[in-house]
Amino acid sequence: QQKQQVISRFFAPK
């Protein structure tokens, strides 16, 4: 089973 990660895990709000 694979889990989809979200973008905010990698890029923080400016």
List contacts with another protein (CB under 8 A). 1-14
What is residue 14's DSSP assignment? -
Least distance in Å: CB of 9 to another protein? 7
Least distance in Å: CB of 4 to another protein? 5
Least distance in Å: CB of 8 to another protein? 6
Q: CA 7, 11, 13, 14 torsion: positive or negative?
A: negative
